[in-house]
Amino acid sequence: MSEIWVWVDGCLNDVESVRGRRFALFVQSLIVVSLVCFSVETLPGLPGWAVDVLAWAEVVLVGLFTVEYLARLFVADRRLRFVFSFFGLVDLLAILPFYISTGLDLRAVRAFRLLRLFRIFKLFRYNRAIHRFHNALLIAKEELILFSCAGLIVLYLAAVGIYYCEHEVQPDQFGSVFHSLWWAVATLTTVGYGDVYPVTVGGKVFTFLVLMIGLGVVAVPTGIVASALAEARDTD
Amino acid sequence: MSEIWVWVDGCLNDVESVRGRRFALFVQSLIVVSLVCFSVETLPGLPGWAVDVLAWAEVVLVGLFTVEYLARLFVADRRLRFVFSFFGLVDLLAILPFYISTGLDLRAVRAFRLLRLFRIFKLFRYNRAIHRFHNALLIAKEELILFSCAGLIVLYLAAVGIYYCEHEVQPDQFGSVFHSLWWAVATLTTVGYGDVYPVTVGGKVFTFLVLMIGLGVVAVPTGIVASALAEARDTD
Amino acid sequence: MSEIWVWVDGCLNDVESVRGRRFALFVQSLIVVSLVCFSVETLPGLPGWAVDVLAWAEVVLVGLFTVEYLARLFVADRRLRFVFSFFGLVDLLAILPFYISTGLDLRAVRAFRLLRLFRIFKLFRYNRAIHRFHNALLIAKEELILFSCAGLIVLYLAAVGIYYCEHEVQPDQFGSVFHSLWWAVATLTTVGYGDVYPVTVGGKVFTFLVLMIGLGVVAVPTGIVASALAEARDTD
Amino acid sequence: MSEIWVWVDGCLNDVESVRGRRFALFVQSLIVVSLVCFSVETLPGLPGWAVDVLAWAEVVLVGLFTVEYLARLFVADRRLRFVFSFFGLVDLLAILPFYISTGLDLRAVRAFRLLRLFRIFKLFRYNRAIHRFHNALLIAKEELILFSCAGLIVLYLAAVGIYYCEHEVQPDQFGSVFHSLWWAVATLTTVGYGDVYPVTVGGKVFTFLVLMIGLGVVAVPTGIVASALAEARDTD
């Protein structure tokens, strides 16, 4: 009996071995399948048979994930610690909504299902490149915090400024500082949907000034992360 | 009496000590609260009680900031120098509008209130990462000035070019070089609201050429700052 | 006879020699001409004589490319290996559609013609800077894979999140997770066409959060490639 | 007499001296003034007196630039070489349209006036940081050419692909490969005006794929220039 569990433990936790890697790949492909099913379910006007197939796929997938969760729980050295570890909780949250929903309203389940997406983070479990990225974040931590704060301040000042420039001419689009914040986000990230934009001369000049300063503040962190990654690679 | 002032001085200016850090955090959270109040005030259709609550919050906050300002003034070695220092002026501007408004028109106050936002810069007072950023700016100073000038020139040339391409077909959108500048800003920063865009073949070809050259000119400074920050980190 | 083929081999494969370089430039300009012809053909409302000219140009160009292909086949040491090499297949695909189309429906040809575009890759054949780029990709391989995966995950999570925020208010624009993915792509790449955008407060706040995290994930790979290229240049 | 010309030569060409720098700044501010005048002239609905003032300002400015040009010509060692040097031609082009226009149609002048804008390049004359930028371009020359070519190829392939996806559904927006190129430019530079965008599922999936590959190709050159500038700074 004991030998079987050693073999199962190898499958579940020893990613270095051939069967461990195969099992990990299998679980990850199941997660992708479950995400695809979830997405297809949201399509409007699905035929009845498709809804049935998806419901059955859901049952099978949750069954498999449940078996995996129980096996992980069984082979864990300290079971309580596993249950409350990050991936222990994620694994539980990935299957719990299905069981909870049986006695409850169906609409509530829909919201809970979002939690299933946390299964994605399992994909990261075995990835080593994350270590280097983690180092890069440590190297550039202070600059990133500084630029994040500066970015939020620039966003807020941009929103207040455009509020005073455009409020009277476009009371709907720039109704309050919060409305203006939406414009500031869409502009400083250069998304520019085009649902709100300044029409007064003052607002346009202000937008120009904000973009000259703000673009750097919002875009520099990207460059910081990239150069910190290069540094982390050198010291590896 | 003297001992109390030494203690107060420690709170206000000694960020290294525990009570100094706590006090700084407390003042910064007050600033954030006052900014949130200011933003909420701009919401259209606020109920009467909310307007009253916000007015009272304003009185309390300005009172606290006034006490802080007077305390800072009292413990300063050279009081005149503090009053005319950058943060001395900012602290004063943060509370002055409230007192000035009492005898004046209410609408004028609204504009003055923008100055309250300068309190934000207090948040920076204690941040050390700014030093490194300052060094990075010194390292890349010349390149940044060069690219800022080149960026302005490209913007202007783009505006003149598109004016000649699109003026006749879209006399409203591209009515003058200044109208065209708005297009140039929205295009070269890649915001692209979609309120003005070329429709002639010549204008589209010109846009393509301008983007090929201009994107680099506008986007390169970001990369320069990022690499200068990496350099500043190395020489730290 | 043998001498002629040595000379032809020099033209086709020895890019170092003067006549090899000239021949390569000649073939590449033919490719550009054939692409221009292909593009002009798609213009609506072409006069009859232009259609005739383009058809004749097509015949001449395919003839020249056929001669080139046969010559390359003849001078190759191992002919079968050439036929099934990447550029051997591309060269074949560039001319095959023309011959296949003669006995078939004209509309089918149109789709096959897209393959002609693979001739573009021939332009790369002689370019040495690709080697350095290849090295840079090897250096940054792991980070690029990590960020590509993270980018896809962020895109998916963004799509699911906005689906729950906007589905009820805009059932047409955000009809399913797949509809929302289109929004996620347009937003996180900062293209922002403006055909779909959030209108609810929840959707706008969610967009802000997604952009703060997602912009970095999508934009960082660019910086990684740039710094890896600088590294590849140093170790050259 | 000779001494005066030595003094004039110092003003015109010796940027190291105090009077040389002052003169350069004076000329540059004149250029900015003339550009502002030019821009104001394009405003629709200018009152008559403003048109008169601008016309007089034009006469005065062209007079000053003519004097400068003649002085430069006089103090030059090899006059013919100066006339045909880059800045010699720019200086001439900046004043010539005014004199040519006197005996010609007024509308033709408008087009010629664009040449006046070349005065902008005079601003570059005295800037030293350009040298470092020039070095950076030399360092990264090969990569920049490679990525420019790759960028053009990606643009073209994107245009052809979207043409086949969207042509039938949106025959106006995607009427030919050239129409599609406009979409490709607006999308891959992430400007995204929103005047043309894919509506079919195939077109949207294709856009996603193109953006994943194309964004890097279009955005990487910026990072290359930035890191090459850092390198040029180190070897300075």
Cβ <8 Å between A220 and B230: no
CA distance D79 to C171: 73
What's B120's DSSP letter? G
Task: Please give, rounded to a whole number of angstroms, the shortest distance from the CA of B62 to a CA of chain C.
Answer: 30
Cβ <8 Å between D194 and B191: no
Task: Tell me what pLDDT residue A107 has.
Answer: 43
Comparing B236 with A220, the larger pLDDT belongs to: A220
CB C236 within 8 A of CB C210: no
What global pTM score does this model have? 0.86
Comparing D127 with A25, the larger pLDDT belongs to: A25
Whether B226 has its CB under 8 Å from any CB of chain A: the answer is yes
What's D56's DSSP letter? H
Task: Tell me what pLDDT residue C101 has.
Answer: 59
Whether B187 has its CB under 8 Å from any CB of chain D: the answer is yes
Q: What residues in A contact D190, CB-CB < 8 Å?
A: 190
How far lies C45's CA from each of C39, C41, D176, in Å? 13, 10, 10
Task: Please give, rounded to a whole number of angstroms, the shortest distance from the CA of B78 to a CA of chain A.
Answer: 31
Confidence grade of residue A114 (pLDDT, cut at 50, 70, 90): low
**Contacts (Cβ under 8 Å, ≥6 apart) of A60:** none
The per-residue pLDDT for range B92-102, each reduced to its tens digit, is 777 777 777 55
CA distance A160 to A188: 14
Cβ <8 Å between C226 and B226: no
Kindly state the average pLDDT of the residues A104-111. 46
- Is the predicted pLDDT of residue B114 greater than 70, yes or no? no
Reading phi first (left if > 0) and then psi (alpha if -120 to 50, else beta), residue B194 is in left
Comparing B62 with A2, the larger pLDDT belongs to: B62
Q: What percent of chain C has pLDDT over 70?
A: 86
Task: List chains touching A (3+ CB pairs under 8 A).
Answer: B, C, D
Torsion of CA C87, C91, C92, C95, to 10 degrees: 160
The per-residue pLDDT for range D5-40, each reduced to its tens digit, is 888 887 777 766 778 778 877 887 888 888 888 888
The per-residue pLDDT for range B41-56, each reduced to its tens digit, is 888 888 989 989 988 9
Task: Tell me what pLDDT residue D58 has.
Answer: 85
The per-residue pLDDT for range D62-109, each reduced to its tens digit, is 899 889 889 988 888 888 898 888 778 777 877 777 777 655 544 444
Kindly state the average pLDDT of the residues A36-65. 88
CA distance B138 to B225: 10
The per-residue pLDDT for range B137-154, each reduced to its tens digit, is 888 887 888 788 788 888
* Residue of chain A minimizing CA distance to B195: A194
- Is the predicted pLDDT of residue A181 greater than 80, yes or no? yes
Task: Tell me what pLDDT residue D36 has.
Answer: 86
Task: List chains touching C (3+ CB pairs under 8 A).
Answer: A, B, D
Comparing C147 with A207, the larger pLDDT belongs to: A207
> For all residues of chain C together, what is the average pLDDT?
81
Token pair of C35 as six digits? 């692409």
What does the radius of gyration of chain B's CA atoms come to, in whole angstroms? 25
Long-range contacts of A173-182 (CB under 8 A, 24+ apart): A175/B43, A175/B44, A176/B39, A176/B42, A176/B43, A176/B44, A177/B38, A177/B39, A177/B42, A178/B39, A178/B42, A178/B43, A181/A155, A181/A156, A181/C208, A182/C204, A182/C208
Whether C14 has its CB under 8 Å from any CB of chain A: the answer is no
- Is the predicted pLDDT of residue A124 greater than 60, yes or no? no
- Is the predicted pLDDT of residue D204 greater than 90, yes or no? yes
Task: Tell me what pLDDT residue C107 has.
Answer: 44
- Is the predicted pLDDT of residue B169 greater than 90, yes or no? yes
Sign of CA dihedral A11, A12, A16, A20: positive
Task: List chains touching D (3+ CB pairs under 8 A).
Answer: A, B, C
Task: Please give, rounded to a whole number of angstroms, the shortest distance from the CA of C220 to a CA of chain B.
Answer: 12
- Is the predicted pLDDT of residue B225 greater than 90, yes or no? no
Cα D111 from chain centre = 16
How far lies C25's CA from each of A160, B155, C15, C122, in Å? 57, 36, 10, 11
Comparing A232 with C190, the larger pLDDT belongs to: C190
**Poorest-pLDDT segment among B14-18, B90-94, C57-61, C156-160:** B14-18
Confidence grade of residue C228 (pLDDT, cut at 50, 70, 90): confident
Task: Please give, rounded to a whole number of angstroms, the shortest distance from the CA of A171 to a CA of chain C.
Answer: 16
Whether C205 has its CB under 8 Å from any CB of chain B: the answer is no
What DSSP string runs through D187-236? Answer: HHTT---SSS---SHHHHHHHHHHHHHHHHHHHHHHHHHHHHHHHHHHT-
* Residue of chain B minimizing CA distance to D155: B208
Whether C193 has its CB under 8 Å from any CB of chain B: the answer is yes
Whether C2 has its CB under 8 Å from any CB of chain D: the answer is no
How far lies C224's CA from each of B69, B101, C185, D215, in Å? 47, 53, 21, 13
Task: Please give, rounded to a whole number of angstroms, the shortest distance from the CA of A4 to a CA of chain C.
Answer: 34
Task: Tell me what pLDDT residue C90 has.
Answer: 75
Comparing C110 with B40, the larger pLDDT belongs to: B40
CB D224 within 8 A of CB D144: yes
**Poorest-pLDDT segment among A113-127, B214-228, C149-163, D131-145:** A113-127
Cβ <8 Å between D187 and C190: no
CA distance A191 to B186: 11
Nearest to B174 by CA among B206, B149, B211: B206
Kindly state the average pLDDT of the residues C2-6. 81
- Is the predicted pLDDT of residue B214 greater than 50, yes or no? yes
Whether C157 has its CB under 8 Å from any CB of chain A: the answer is yes
Task: Tell me what pLDDT residue B127 has.
Answer: 58
CA distance D169 to D189: 24
- Is the predicted pLDDT of residue D207 greater than 50, yes or no? yes
First to last CA, chain D: 42
- Is the predicted pLDDT of residue A62 greater than 50, yes or no? yes
On the 0-12 / 13-18 / 19+ scale of CB atoms within 10 A, B235 is exposed
- Is the predicted pLDDT of residue D114 greater than 70, yes or no? no
Task: Tell me what pLDDT residue B103 has.
Answer: 53
- Is the predicted pLDDT of residue A207 greater than 90, yes or no? yes
Whether A223 has its CB under 8 Å from any CB of chain C: the answer is yes
Whether B222 has its CB under 8 Å from any CB of chain C: the answer is no
Whether A155 has its CB under 8 Å from any CB of chain B: the answer is no
- The closest CB to that of D216, out of C129, C222, C233, belongs to C222
Confidence grade of residue B82 (pLDDT, cut at 50, 70, 90): confident
Task: Tell me what pLDDT residue A208 has.
Answer: 93
Task: Please give, rounded to a whole number of angstroms, the shortest distance from the CA of A201 to a CA of chain D.
Answer: 14
Angle formed by the axes of helices C201-234 and D201-234, nearest 10°: 50
- The closest CB to that of D204, out of C123, C128, C182, belongs to C182
> For all residues of chain B together, what is the average pLDDT?
80
Nearest to A219 by CA among A151, A162, A165: A151
Whether A128 has its CB under 8 Å from any CB of chain C: the answer is yes
Confidence grade of residue D160 (pLDDT, cut at 50, 70, 90): confident
Nearest to C196 by CA among C210, C186, C209: C186
Token pair of D216 as six digits? 């890097």
What's A193's DSSP letter? -
- The closest CB to that of D194, out of C111, C117, C195, belongs to C195
- The closest CB to that of C185, out of D143, D175, D207, belongs to D207
What DSSP string runs through C164-175? Answer: HHHTTT-TTTTS
CA distance C166 to A145: 31
Comparing B58 with D200, the larger pLDDT belongs to: D200
> For all residues of chain A together, what is the average pLDDT?
80
Residue bearing tokens 């006490």: B67
Disruptive mutation site among A195, A224, A227 for chain D (greatest number of D CBs within 10 Å): A227
Disruptive mutation site among D201, D225, D227, D231 for chain A (greatest number of A CBs within 10 Å): D227
CB C190 within 8 A of CB A167: no
Task: Please give, rounded to a whole number of angstroms, the shortest distance from the CA of C129 to a CA of chain A.
Answer: 21
Nearest to B128 by CA among A141, C117, C43: A141
Cβ <8 Å between B143 and D133: yes
Task: List chains touching B (3+ CB pairs under 8 A).
Answer: A, C, D
Task: Tell me what pLDDT residue C117 has.
Answer: 60
